[in-house]
Amino acid sequence: MNIDLSAFPATIDTLHLVLGISAILFLVLFLTKKKSSTDQNAQENNIEASAANIEQPVEKTVPEVTEAEADSLLLKESTPEAALQLLTLLQQEARFIDFIQEDLSAYSDADIGAAARVVHEGSKKILNDYFTLEAIRREEEETAVSILEGFNASEVRLTGNVVGNAPFNGILIHKGWKVSEVKLPKLAAGHDASIVAPAEVEL
């Protein structure tokens, strides 16, 4: 393909010069605007991505707790079934409730002693069968002992003139007991544990 250069004007008049410059300006503005729009979109996308990555704070609402509810949270409530079961066993083996509920003022010391022997033997049998007991202190009672710093206040109760901080030196009045194992029998479903001793009717 041959191009005839003689067809192009030798000189450029003012009108063509203005049109050319305007075209170039429009081209520059178009390219600038397009680049600005592209940068703005990229920036908005970056902002949205950053916002998505930022962990939104979660409002934690603390429920209002009444004074009674606060006290109940601090205290551990125990179920009565085990205590009722123990009372039942003591009544069965030692007539414990009968002995405690009896008015002993009309009986002599000898009569009370004889009844107490039955209660003692039956109660001891219950303890040996269903509980494993261990002494808290191994020392003999009425001997000198030293209570070191950091002692367990639930295991050792200090009495008398308690002044200052541990270690304490004193006399062991009682060695204490703790239960290391409980082996109470399981209750059948629907069993009424509140009946610790049924009424007896002889026919």
Q: What's the rounded Cα separation, in Å, for the pair 201 and 176?
A: 42
Other C-beta atoms lying within 10 Å of the C-beta of residue 191: 11
Q: Do residues 153 and 143 lie in contact, with contact meaning Cβ atoms separated by under 8 Å?
A: no
The ranges assigned to domains in the chain are: 17-49, 79-150+167-182
Q: What's the rounded Cα separation, in Å, for the pair 91 and 122?
A: 9
Q: What's the rounded Cα separation, in Å, for the pair 39 and 84?
A: 80
Nearest partner of 114 among 127, 104, 125, judged by Cα: 104
pLDDT number for residue 26: 60
Angle of CA points 176, 129, 184, to nearest 5°: 90
Q: What's the rounded Cα separation, in Å, for the pair 147 and 155?
A: 11
Q: What's the rounded Cα separation, in Å, for the pair 197 and 184?
A: 17
Other C-beta atoms lying within 10 Å of the C-beta of residue 71: 10
102: CB partners within 8 A, 6+ apart: 115
DSSP letter at 191 equals -
Q: What's the rounded Cα separation, in Å, for the pair 169 and 147?
A: 6
Question: In tens digits, what is the pLDDT along the chain, a chain of 203 residues?
Answer: 444 444 444 455 555 555 556 666 665 555 555 555 555 555 555 555 555 555 555 555 556 667 766 666 677 776 789 999 999 999 999 999 999 999 999 999 999 999 999 999 999 999 999 999 999 999 999 999 999 999 999 999 999 999 999 999 999 999 999 999 999 988 898 999 999 999 999 99
pTM of structure: 0.58
Compute CA 37 distance to the chain's CA centroid, rounded to the nearest angstrom.
56
Question: How big is the chain by its Cα radius of gyration, in Å?
Answer: 47
